[in-house]
Amino acid sequence: MSREEIRETLIESLGSWTSGQRLARSLKISRAAVWKQVQSLRAEGYEIESSKRGYRLESLPDIISEDLVKSGLKTSFVGRTIISHPSLSSTNAEAKRIAPSADNGTVVVAEVQTSGRGRMERPWHSPKGGVWISVILKPRIPPTLAPRVNMAAAVAVARALEGLYALEVGIKWPNDLLVGERKVSGILTEIGAEMDSLDYAVVGIGINANIDPALFPQVWRATSLSGLLGRDISRLKLVQRVLEEVEAAFEDLESSFDGVREDWRRRSATLDRRVRIITRDGEFEGMAGALEADGSLLVRRDDGRRVWVYAGDCVHLRPAANPVEEGV
């Protein structure tokens, strides 16, 4: 416990000195014991200076631990439990494993993923410096409305990036967040369901935060926040904001969905564009017309048929006269 109290005291007086004697006295432990706990905090990544004046925490460490995320987090249920790992194969895999017995809003986070996944089992590059989290959500909606969860998460992350960094964030259906035409974040929602009820949704959010964009192959058309802003960002603040926005968007899932839908529409890089849709059943081209209340994409096919698309790949095409792919 004394380690926790020392950590909290140093955070409260961030940037100023706290004497070892004061810490020892208020915690009723020896100064040597204080020193030992400070060493263990340093090993965790806390930069703590020591001098004759005592101890001083220089800055909050850039680690996404439960304690740090929770301090100052303004949510009522998202992030009340945070399970953080230095490394996981995939936060989604771990979240799915624990989801049946986990509380609504539980978060799994890893500093690196060794086998991060995008849709259709595609590999998702997840080095140190990124934000790789999965949120377990238990909305009371039927499985037919599950696409809403993915849309709500995309809107939530877009709002967080815009609010924190004033970036204009577009959404490419179904799950890519773009700045310009480059992908800065991807979302993978997986569900566990009965015939008529959703047991849980695991919302996997990957954000390329402090990563050198040169690490991404050109064909991915990927970018990162540090690449866009020319500086590293606080991943901690980003995670807190994302969780707050996820909670705010969650409220809309069980009600009209109008707020999320309107925001999604406004940010969409896909609506009113010619698209090629590739699903398990085949592919076709047409105009992306609307995002429906259940989260599906309405596409008007070239043969006049209207199709509601719930899952699949979407390629943005140039206007019909010049149907050259703009890349995925």
- Name which of 133 and 309 has its Cβ closer to ligand BTN: 133
Measured distance CA(306)–CA(300) in Å, rounded: 5
Which two three-digit tokens encode residue 141? Answer: 């909606």
Q: Which residues contact 300 (CB under 8 A, 6 or more apart)?
A: 286, 287, 289, 306
Helices (H), the chain: 2-12, 20-27, 31-44, 66-70, 91-98, 147-165, 225-229, 235-253, 258-267
Minimum CB separation of residue 223 from ligand ATP in Å reads 8
- Name which of 46 and 173 has its Cβ closer to ligand BTN: 173
Q: Is 328 in the site for ligand ATP (CB under 6 A)?
A: yes
**Which partner from the list ligand ATP, ligand BTN, none does 117 bind, CB cut-off 5 to 8 Å by kind?**
ligand BTN
Residues 76-95 that bind ligand BTN (CB under 6 A): 90-92
Q: Is 224 in the site for ligand BTN (CB under 6 A)?
A: no
Pick from 328, 310, 271: nearest CA to 150: 310
Residues 261-300 that bind ligand BTN (CB under 6 A): none
Minimum CB separation of residue 207 from ligand BTN in Å reads 8
**Which partner from the list ligand BTN, ligand ATP, none does 90 bind, CB cut-off 5 to 8 Å by kind?**
ligand BTN
CB-count exposure of residue 33 (10 Å: 0-12, 13-18, 19+)? middle
- Of 7, 119, 172, 274, the residue at the interface with ligand BTN (CB under 6 A) is 119
Q: Is 192 in the site for ligand BTN (CB under 6 A)?
A: no
Query: Could you give the 3-state DSSP secondary structure of residue 262?
Result: helix
Query: Could you give the 3-state DSSP secondary structure of residue 172?
Result: strand
Q: How many residues bind ligand ATP (CB under 6 A)?
A: 19
Minimum CB separation of residue 215 from ligand ATP in Å reads 9
Residues 133-172 that bind ligand BTN (CB under 6 A): 133-134
Measured distance CA(275)–CA(262) in Å, rounded: 21
Q: How many residues bind ligand BTN (CB under 6 A)?
A: 21
**253 contacts 139 by C-beta, under 8 angstroms:** yes
Measured distance CA(72)–CA(240) in Å, rounded: 8
- Of 188, 246, 260, 271, the residue at the interface with ligand BTN (CB under 6 A) is 188
Q: Is 37 in the site for ligand BTN (CB under 6 A)?
A: no
**Which partner from the list ligand ATP, ligand BTN, none does 220 bind, CB cut-off 5 to 8 Å by kind?**
ligand ATP
263: left (phi over 0), alpha (psi -120 to 50) or beta: alpha
Q: Is 105 in the site for ligand BTN (CB under 6 A)?
A: no
Helices (H), 50-90: 66-70
Q: Is 252 in the site for ligand BTN (CB under 6 A)?
A: no
Phi, psi torsion values for 20, nearest 5 degrees:
-60, -35
Q: Is 305 in the site for ligand ATP (CB under 6 A)?
A: no
Give the range of 64-72, 132-140, 281-289, 310-318 binding ligand BTN by CB under 6 A. 132-140
- Name which of 20 and 116 has its Cβ closer to ligand BTN: 116
- Name which of 37 and 176 has its Cβ closer to ligand BTN: 176
CA distances, 311 to each of 75, 138, 205 (Å) = 31, 21, 18
Write out the DSSP string of 299-311: EEETTS-EEEE-S
- Of 124, 132, 250, 257, the residue at the interface with ligand ATP (CB under 6 A) is 124
Point out which residues bind ligand ATP (CB under 6 A): 118-120, 122, 124-125, 172, 175-176, 183, 186, 206, 208, 216, 220, 222, 313-314, 328
